[in-house]
């Protein structure tokens, strides 16, 4: 039984426990890196446009995709009982709910709060206006990666590492940032990445990583890259720092703080640990080096975060999060940090939670890399 069938079965069990007739999960047509994709989790399909999955208490399920012409592809991929293509999602949803004989008063919705409100209102009307929402259902349902999802995460990680290795062969003074980003992005696509949350930029003193632009690379630049390919619906992220020319001793010294924070975070991230505790373990490394005042925005953002589409749990690695880690959770851990002497530096790996702590999925953990000028 594939993971979608397992999750559809768990959904039916949930409906029974809650005395509900059915569930409607919707998605807004984005391949979000930061949010779970309720339609993908239940059907195995990422439709081109807005979409919905209807599941009823008997176990029957229907995937509705837009645009209508995407139906044939979706039908081949979907694990639902039926697939329908349409250019009118609310209208077709109303019809499908009738076919499933679902009473709108005994219906739970997932994902309506992520839709554009114009569409959300039309869908709410199609649901009868009496449904209840459980926006957390899918992220909880899919919070632990299945073996095949973990394998895809590992493949995504390998693509990220190979892409970065390719980037190192392309870097040279005189290249535009966007040309380097094109090399990096297209190489990972050649390796099978369907999408990529890619940020890559360079400066002599970075404030943060940003989108690649028209800047021309030069000797002494520090290239920051946040490389996040998606493979079979699983994102993996590595964060890397590359110097054009020979890194200075102070660069090595400060980068070692990030590496120490990464190791401390991995050690602390055991099943049952809170995100708050893991964050504290990482921040302590910066505090010990005199950078406690910099453990907040705008000098950093978060120490890691969930990787979306399947589930965005465990959420952001912050000092405020009480979320508890569970074995099998996959997320990115990245003690990326602005340091006054060097500018922003990046160091991060995708990790899976094991009894021994957070195990990096990457084959080679981040070093301060350099390329000849």
Partner 1 sequence: MRTVQPCIVIGSYVWDQDRVPRDEFQIRIAELNRLMDANGWKAVLVYGDAAEHSALAWFSGFTTRLRWGMALIPRQGEPRLLISMSSRDVPAMKLMTWIPDVVSGWSWDSAFDPWLAKLEGDGPIGSIGFELMRPPLFASLQKSLGNRFSLQAADEAVAAVRSTRPRELSQIRAASRLVQAAGAAFVEPWRLGKDIETSALAAERTARMMAAQDVRTLISFDGGRTLSPFRGAFEPQADRQSGMAGYIAVKHMGYWADLFVTGTRRASEVEQRTQASLRTLLDLAKPGAVAAELYAKATVALAPYSLHPVLSGSVGRRIGLSLNEGGEIRSDSGHALKPGEIYSLATGGYDPQAGGALTSAMLAITATGSELLHLSPASKLQ
**Which 3-state string (H, E, C) describes 59-114?**
CCEEEEECCHHHHHHHHHHCCCCEEEECCCHHHHHHHHHHHCCCCHHHEEEECHHH
Nearer to partner 1, 273 or 330 (CB): 330
Q: How far is the CB of 40 from partner 1 (least distance, A)?
A: 13
Nearer to partner 1, 124 or 369 (CB): 124
Give the footprint of partner 1 on this chain (CB under 8 A).
Answer: 29-33, 46, 48-49, 66-69, 72-73, 87, 112-118, 120, 176-179, 181-182, 185-186, 189-200, 207-208, 210-214, 228, 230-231, 235, 297-301, 308, 338
Are 131 and 104 in contact by the 8 Å Cβ rule? The answer is yes
Q: 227-261 b/e with 16+ CB inside 10 Å = b?
A: bbbbbbbbbbbbbbbbbbeebeeebeebbebbbbb
Q: How far is the CB of 323 from partner 1 (least distance, A)?
A: 19
Q: Tokens in use for 196? A: 């990529």
Q: How far is the CB of 270 from partner 1 (least distance, A)?
A: 28
Q: How far is the CB of 29 from partner 1 (least distance, A)?
A: 6
Nearer to partner 1, 36 or 370 (CB): 36
Nearer to partner 1, 121 or 324 (CB): 121
State the Cα–Cα distance between residues 265 and 260, nearest whole angstrom. 9
The 3-state DSSP class for residue 303 equals coil
Q: How far is the CB of 48 from partner 1 (least distance, A)?
A: 6
215 CB neighbour count, 10 Å cutoff? 14
Nearer to partner 1, 101 or 190 (CB): 190
Q: How far is the CB of 195 from partner 1 (least distance, A)?
A: 5
Are 149 and 328 in contact by the 8 Å Cβ rule? The answer is no
Are 123 and 78 in contact by the 8 Å Cβ rule? The answer is no
Nearer to partner 1, 117 or 204 (CB): 117
């Amino acid at each position: 039984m594939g993971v979608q069938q397992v999750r559809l079965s768990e959904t039916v069990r949930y409906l029974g426990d809650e005395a509900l007739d059915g569930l409607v999960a919707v998605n807004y047509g984005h391949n979000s890196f930061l949010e779970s994709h309720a339609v993908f989790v239940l059907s195995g399909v990422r439709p081109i446009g807005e979409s919905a999955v209807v599941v009823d208490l008997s176990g029957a399920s229907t995937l509705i995709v837009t645009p209508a012409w995407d139906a044939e592809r979706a039908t081949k991929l979907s694990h639902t009982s039926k697939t329908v293509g349409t250019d009118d999602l609310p209208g077709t949803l109303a019809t499908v709910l009738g076919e499933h004989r679902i009473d709108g008063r005994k219906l739970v919705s997932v994902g309506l709060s992520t839709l554009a409100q114009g569409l959300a209102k039309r869908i709410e009307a199609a649901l009868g206006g009496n449904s209840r929402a459980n926006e957390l259902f899918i992220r909880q349902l899919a919070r632990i990666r299945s073996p095949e999802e973990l394998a895809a995460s590992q493949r995504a990680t390998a693509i990220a590492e190979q892409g970065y290795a390719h980037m190192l062969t392309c870097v040279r003074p005189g290249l535009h940032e966007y040309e380097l980003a094109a090399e990096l992005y297209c190489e990972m696509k050649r390796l099978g990445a369907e999408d990529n949350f890619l940020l890559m930029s360079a400066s002599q003193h970075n404030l943060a990583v940003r989108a690649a632009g028209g800047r021309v690379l030069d000797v002494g630049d520090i290239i920051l890259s946040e490389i996040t390919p998606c493979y079979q619906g699983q994102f993996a992220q590595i964060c890397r720092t590359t110097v054009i020319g020979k890194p200075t001793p102070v660069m090595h010294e400060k980068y070692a703080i990030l590496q120490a924070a990464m190791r401390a975070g991995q050690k602390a991230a055991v099943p049952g640990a809170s995100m708050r505790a893991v964050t504290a373990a990482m921040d302590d490394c910066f505090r010990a080096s005199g950078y406690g005042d910099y453990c907040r925005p705008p000098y950093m953002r978060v120490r890691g975060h969930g990787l979306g589409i399947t589930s965005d749990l465990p959420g952001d690695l912050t000092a405020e999060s009480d979320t508890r880690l569970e074995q099998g959770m996959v997320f990115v851990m990245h003690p990326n940090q602005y340091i006054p002497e060097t500018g922003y530096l990046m160091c991060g790996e995708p990790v899976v939670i094991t009894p021994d702590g957070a195990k990096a999925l990457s084959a080679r953990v981040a070093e301060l890399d350099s390329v000849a000028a």
